[in-house]
A and B are shown apart, each in its own frame.
Chain A
């Protein structure tokens, strides 16, 4: 079975808080979480800095509930785009986005949404859930995005906080489902506090509320997240070429005494 992932935990300066959120996620049964670095271009110059190093955060990450493996911590970059020039950092300076496991965009207008679906090199497109969607989800860009393996992200934390936001979340989600038919959707938390996280099975049931079928509701947390992560991996490498390097092992004394040919024969 594919493991559960939550691809959006808001990065905050308070390390204690971030640790407690990640501990809570491990307790609830998530096998991997992604820490979200937001780059808002509202200010004159937004910086895309180096991502937070997971090893700094935890010397030994907490173990996942029901498993004996430690939780995996990933990094993710979200670019809030309200102008076409904001995509430049994705196009030209791809070295800036390379350290991140996942790159997401949050398009504010229909034109930018179309561009993100069809031409920009991203993994995840965030769907606005905090206000009435300013544009209608049309079929051509969405089917192009599904073809390219790009995922649409819905976050559920605003729905917990406020009843008006809950209405917008459900209506925008249902609008999106009408067009994409439940394909290529991921649901993540966007949590800023530990109590805003919900368990993976609870979130899968929430998918039923958004108009998904039972099978795809479970896929939004597990299979689709994994695909998004693998899409990020192909973006980081050269679209399918993975290069790994193995560190040379320390040669044992007894093995080095014999000639290489003899040693090979023994095995």
Chain B
């Protein structure tokens, strides 16, 4: 702003450039079981995810603040929020999760974004017909 002429009137616009503004990352995930009709409460769901992180990255990885924002128990899908530093740790441990109470399962990461608003649309299936 130094070299620019300063007008006497206050400007009506402001330009702000933020580098790395996002503190959190949001993930939309879905738990898939081989067998139909497995019921989980939100608390069980979160403990499943935390134990998966703990298995791969230990206590330090599990200490990263993680929130379950929205949970749908019919489709077993949820929206998670994690600090940006713990993002890769969470995603890799979700990928390597294979069992829940001796049942085969898998977590599909449907969408990932630093902004919650972006999860409203679908980025993976843009070509719909």
What's the nearest-Cβ distance from chain A to residue B119, in Å?
A: 15
Interface membership of chain B positions 95-129, coded 1 if the CB is closer than 8 angstroms to chain A and 0 otherwise: 11110000011101100100000000000111101
Q: Which residues of B contact A28 (CB under 8 A)?
A: 108
Assess the B125–A203 pair: CB atoms within 8 A.
no
Assess the A199–B108 pair: CB atoms within 8 A.
yes
| Cα of A206 to Cα of B95 in the assembled complex, Å | 7
| Cα of A215 to Cα of B31 in the assembled complex, Å | 28
Q: Is B92 an interface residue (CB 8 A)?
A: yes
Assess the B127–A66 pair: CB atoms within 8 A.
yes
Assess the B98–A65 pair: CB atoms within 8 A.
no
What's the nearest-Cβ distance from chain A to residue B123, in Å?
A: 9
Q: Is B88 an interface residue (CB 8 A)?
A: yes
Assess the A195–B105 pair: CB atoms within 8 A.
yes
Within 8 A of B (CB), among A133-179: 156, 159-161, 163, 166
Assess the A65–B125 pair: CB atoms within 8 A.
yes
Q: Which residues of B contact A161 (CB under 8 A)?
A: 98
Q: Is B67 an interface residue (CB 8 A)?
A: no
Count of B interface residues, CB-CB < 8 Å: 23
| Cα of A156 to Cα of B98 in the assembled complex, Å | 12
Assess the B55–A163 pair: CB atoms within 8 A.
yes
Q: Is B7 an interface residue (CB 8 A)?
A: no
Q: Is B32 an interface residue (CB 8 A)?
A: yes
- Contact partner of A196 among B98, B108, B112, CB < 8 A? B98
Residues in chain B within 8 A of chain A (CB atoms): 32, 34, 55-56, 88, 91-92, 94-98, 104-106, 108-109, 112, 124-127, 129
- Report 26 cross-chain contacts, Cβ distance below 8 Å, ordered by A residue: A29-B124, A65-B124, A66-B124, A66-B125, A66-B126, A68-B129, A156-B96, A159-B96, A160-B95, A160-B97, A163-B55, A166-B96, A195-B32, A195-B98, A196-B98, A196-B106, A197-B106, A198-B95, A199-B109, A202-B91, A202-B95, A202-B109, A205-B88, A205-B95, A208-B88, A208-B92
